[in-house]
Structure 1
Amino acid sequence: MTQLAVQAEEPEPLASRRAAGSSFYLAMRMLPRARRDGMFEIYSFCRHVDDIADSAAPRAERLAGLERWRHELDAVYAGRVAPEHRGLAQAIGEFSLRQEDFIAIIEGMEMDAAEDIRAPDLATFDLYCDRVASAVGRLSVKAFGMGEPDGERLAHHLGRALQITNILRDIDEDAENGRLYLPRELLHRAGIETTDPCAVAAHPALGQVGAALIERARDHFEKADAVMDGSPRWMVRAPRIMGKVYRAILDDLAVRGFAPPREPVRVNKLSLLLVVLQYGFV
């Protein structure tokens, strides 16, 4: 039986069910059981804090919810594990997951919860990508079995590549929610002076910003691929699938362009299945 087979006789943990809607679900499913469960716990944590940051609750309430997670992590790392955090505690112990990486993710969520991000400078843009994506990668590579420095390098580059792709894909959705993640310097370089999200989304020079970020994302994808090319195939099977899927989204964005009206670009299920079949076996 391959590791792709689902062991139906074993009940799925809640963390697994929370991950079922993710485009990364099949990649996580192919990991050995302990590593898979660890990834589901990491993903579940990210979903919890992301849901808080993106909720319709008042900002003070969202920030308080994220602060509660800080205290809950303190308790877990101190050995005071509530029943609902037993799976997370097991993953932390088994894979030596660092509290600072969980905190970095919370700090990224706080950036969204505290105010609507609008045209951050490049340094803040990179910090945001590090917190909400590369920090997730730093946790994930430990569950994959990667050590340092390769794991750190992969988390850095693949995390940023995925997040930049997300930002480019979600420009219209973010604008509707009052957010604009595109870097201020790139907007100015394209002659876009406004930071109003809807105005930027409709600007005829938006394609220049999109092209610059596509180039940046491709550079990160190439550096992530170089790390994975030098690693055992079984170890990078899941991140390889994640990278290939999101690289395809980025390529679709480049072909579609950024002139309004823009058709949404989403993961094609058939393409996802083909990537899984190509990279899902040792």
Structure 2
Amino acid sequence: MSPDEYCQQKAAQSGSSFYYSFLFLPREKRLAITALYAFCREVDDVVDECTDDSVARNKLAWWRREVTAMTAGNPSHPVTQALAPHMTRFKLQARHLQAIIDGMEMDLDQTRYLDYPGLQKYCWHAAGVVGILSASIFGYSDPATLQYAEKLGLALQLTNIIRDVGEDARRGRIYIPVNDLQQFNVKAADLLKGQYSEDFVKLMQFQAARARAVYQEAYALLPPADRKPQKTGLIMGAIYHTLLDEIERDGFHVLQQKISLTPIRKLWIAWKTYVRN
């Protein structure tokens, strides 16, 4: 199996909505974004799959060294071997890859966030910086596009947090800010126990409204000149925005289940968004 095939398999197996947005890219950009996505999956899986924090930290330290080795021309992992040729071609910066690893380490160091600004810092590492790297691969002419991409990354991550509230709680992590929980009289213990209530629904409605506002802020930042090359990001946004709507229509029953869109529906949204833009 070649490095590119390894990354393709990693992306396809994840079932992620991102995979469907990659389908419309030219081959070179599709290979680059797939390799970047595979990198994100690899380091994210370290935290999600390791039950021993010390093992997870050692693995993340290995990935830090691997990023350094890649930039020196000596990648050893299929993902970095696939990603290496694209670093210069698309002006990707190793410091941004290291920032993604920083975000994974934050998951080991912190399981609660006091307020929204604190959560935003985490989201930048987990998704905002991924948006910047992705926009660089898609192509842009106006630097303001990177601000759009960073903001879109935040919106996508906020949607993920809503979708994964129950799953994250079962791992001992709560990303909903503490002061938001207090505002809506929802205790952290309620999430950990999967306790559904009217107060929880109101809390999630507030989180969804925040995410939707960030989507609108992101789209407003996208320069018209870069709308065409950034179609893939717009597809990601459309799929995730539809997912958010679906979660709300379902009454935010996210504590005991993970709500998702069918592959056919994702593909339809991707095609519709591609044609419109």
Does TM, normalized by the shorter one, top 0.5?
A: yes
Structure 1 residues 120, 65: CA separation in 2 closer, same or farther (over 3 Å shift)? Answer: farther
Structure 1 residues 236, 189: CA separation in 2 closer, same or farther (over 3 Å shift)? Answer: same
Aligned to 2:97: 102
Q: Is the 1:158–1:220 contact (alpha carbons within 8 Å) kept by the matching residues of 2? A: yes
Structure 1 residues 147, 212: CA separation in 2 closer, same or farther (over 3 Å shift)? Answer: farther
| TM-score, scaled relative to structure 2 | 0.88
CA distance in structure 2 between the aligned counterparts of 1:119 and 1:145, rounded to whole angstroms: 34
Cα shift readout 1:183-226 (whole Å, capped 9, x = no counterpart) = 01111111235456424754541123212211111111112222
Higher relative CO (Cα under 8 Å, sequence separation at least 6) belongs to 2
Structure 1 residues 210, 11: CA separation in 2 closer, same or farther (over 3 Å shift)? Answer: closer
Structure 1 residues 70, 148: CA separation in 2 closer, same or farther (over 3 Å shift)? Answer: farther
Q: Is the 1:180–1:195 contact (alpha carbons within 8 Å) kept by the matching residues of 2? A: no
Q: Is the 2:239–2:270 contact (alpha carbons within 8 Å) kept by the matching residues of 1? A: no
Q: Which of the numbers 203, 207, 210 marks the counterpart of 2:201? A: 207
CA distance in structure 2 between the aligned counterparts of 1:247 and 1:236, rounded to whole angstroms: 17
Q: Which of the numbers 3, 17, 23 marks the counterpart of 2:17? A: 23
CA distance in structure 2 between the aligned counterparts of 1:151 and 1:269, rounded to whole angstroms: 29
CA distance in structure 1 between the aligned counterparts of 2:250 and 2:229, rounded to whole angstroms: 34
Q: Compute the displacement of 1:177 (Å).
A: 1.7
Unaligned runs of 5+ in 2: none
**Relative to structure 2, which stretch is displaced further, 255-264 or 37-46?**
255-264
Aligned to 1:61: 55
Structure 1 residues 32, 184: CA separation in 2 closer, same or farther (over 3 Å shift)? Answer: same
**Relative to structure 2, which stretch is displaced further, 164-173 or 85-94?**
85-94
Equivalence map 1:79-98=2 (5 Å): 79-82=73-76, 84=78, 85-98=80-93
* 2:236 is equivalent to residue 253 of structure 1: no
Unaligned runs of 5+ in 1: 1-9
Equivalence map 1:1-282=2 (5 Å): 13-20=5-12, 21-82=15-76, 84=78, 85-114=80-109, 117-194=111-188, 197-199=191-193, 201-228=195-222, 230-258=224-252, 264-281=258-275
CA distance in structure 2 between the aligned counterparts of 1:55 and 1:30, rounded to whole angstroms: 31
Q: Is the 1:120–1:181 contact (alpha carbons within 8 Å) kept by the matching residues of 2? A: no
Structure 1 residues 166, 27: CA separation in 2 closer, same or farther (over 3 Å shift)? Answer: same
Q: Percent identity?
A: 32
CA distance in structure 2 between the aligned counterparts of 1:261 and 1:167, rounded to whole angstroms: 11
Q: Compute the displacement of 1:113 (Å).
A: 2.7
CA distance in structure 1 between the aligned counterparts of 2:152 and 2:264, rounded to whole angstroms: 23
Q: Compute the displacement of 1:87 (Å).
A: 1.8
Q: Is the 1:175–1:201 contact (alpha carbons within 8 Å) kept by the matching residues of 2? A: no
Q: Is the 2:3–2:81 contact (alpha carbons within 8 Å) kept by the matching residues of 1? A: no
How many residues of Structure 1 are paired with residues of Structure 2 in the alignment?
272
Structure 1 residues 61, 121: CA separation in 2 closer, same or farther (over 3 Å shift)? Answer: same
Helix, strand or coil for the counterpart of 2:49?
coil
Structure 1 residues 86, 262: CA separation in 2 closer, same or farther (over 3 Å shift)? Answer: closer
CA distance in structure 1 between the aligned counterparts of 2:165 and 2:252, rounded to whole angstroms: 9
Task: Point out the structure with the larger helix share.
Answer: 2
Q: Is the 1:172–1:201 contact (alpha carbons within 8 Å) kept by the matching residues of 2? A: no
